[in-house]
Amino acid sequence: MRRLLLATAMLVWTAPALADTPEEAAEAALEAAPVWDGHNDVPIQLRGRFGNVIGDFDFEDTTGTESPDGRRAMHTDIARLKRGKVGAQWWSVYVSASLEEPEAVQATIEQIDVTKRLIARYPGELGLALTADDVERHMAQGRIASLMGMEGGHSIGSSLAVLRQMYAMGARYMTLTHGKTLSWADSATDEPKNNGLSDFGKDVVREMNRIGMLVDLSHVSEKAMHDALDVAQAPVIFSHSSARALNGHARNVPDSALARLPANGGIIMVTFVPGFLSEAARQWNANRAAEQARLEALWQGQPDEVANRLASWDEANPLPQSSIAETADHIDHIRSVAGIEAIGIGGDYDGIPFAPPGLEDVSTYPALFGELARRGYSQQDLEMISSRNMMRVMRAAEAASSSMDDIPPYEHAAGEER
């Protein structure tokens, strides 16, 4: 595995430019290696806000997309992506894990379709990317390389045939689960049923490696992480997660898995979800949920009373703020456990209601890189975090797939219980 990674994924580094300030160091790094973000949920916003009817949707500027029903303005548009120095973006073609699997398969195809239609509407600014070479070409030509990732194995309906066809349609990673445990993979935030991955789940990982689809381990249980790492023949990713040692949320990655990334060659793309960054915010969320449950038990059948009392609790107990500094703390920790080669960025913009102050939308990535520069990260370090690590991982996954040309597709009988 190490020989494969070294043979196929060596990068040619540009000589670091001299910079007088952290901001200048960040600017130089992002000029040389623009951000390749691991997870953005614009496609589900298109579905939820517009029913995927996007003929009148202006992706140049979405700052006015707040609506009377309380929906906040979107975090993402082309103008702000450019200000944020984003050169490549994984667009999530997520659909709800509450859908029955056949419905989820259809909805995922619809999300792939709307994402491709959005990319095609802006040929000067966005470019569909299916390979690492595509990413490199689009970035060199000043376009935002646009890749698609499925978020949750419900999107393939427990079928390797559907997995292969999703790849043929352009999906280049799949998060094995979302918020619900599947018949073949345990979610981090649901009751386990498989003690990690079932035998079929392990074959999903093997088939993803064979066809060249990246295995994304955000959202899966700790045991499922280790099961996937045990069988993976290509680097894995965590497309939008942070460090569990600093914030105990189950969606974060424990040191036991982080420590295995160097041998695997994979990366964790640190996310900006406040409840995954700030332990105080995580505790606040748990306390608020407990207070709501208490009020509902005390004031049964009186929803207005519950709402009024919960509003009073909110006023007396403001949500602790996360910060750019806390985000950098997670990067520091991951570097100490897994090394600089294991770090990327996965903001989760437009999949979260709000981000930390200073990281409010996709224009703000340079602020985080400035903070890292102040902490002593070199320009080469910053370039690795911004996109060179992700490029290495994708090239290595493609090389691993090419090395398996003689392996036939993994097969399971249609309709077989998983």
Residues carrying an active site annotation: 39, 41, 151, 178, 219, 240, 348
Instruction: Find out whether 182 and 153 touch, Cβ atoms under 8 Å.
Output: yes
Query: What residue type is 348 in one-letter code?
Result: D
Query: What residue type is 234 in one-letter code?
Result: A
9 token code pair: 């994924």
Please report the DSSP string for 278-312 in residue order. -HHHHHHHHHHHHHHHHHHHHTTT-HHHHHHHHHH
Tokens 């920790």 correspond to 333
Please report the DSSP string for 93-150 in residue order. ----TTS-HHHHHHHHHHHHHHHHHHHHH-TTTEEE-SSHHHHHHHHHTT-EEEEEEE
Any idea what DSSP says for residue 188?
Answer: T
Query: What residue type is 135 in one-letter code?
Result: V
Query: CA 346, 352, 356 angle in degrees (round to 5)?
Result: 75
Tokens 């944020």 correspond to 84
Tokens 């200000």 correspond to 83
Tokens 């802006």 correspond to 122
389 token code pair: 């690590």
Query: For residues 190-225, b (16+ Cβ closer than 10 Å) or e, as one string?
Result: beeebebbbebbbbbbbbbbbbbbbbbbbbbbbebb
Query: CA 90, 84, 341 angle in degrees (round to 5)?
Result: 60
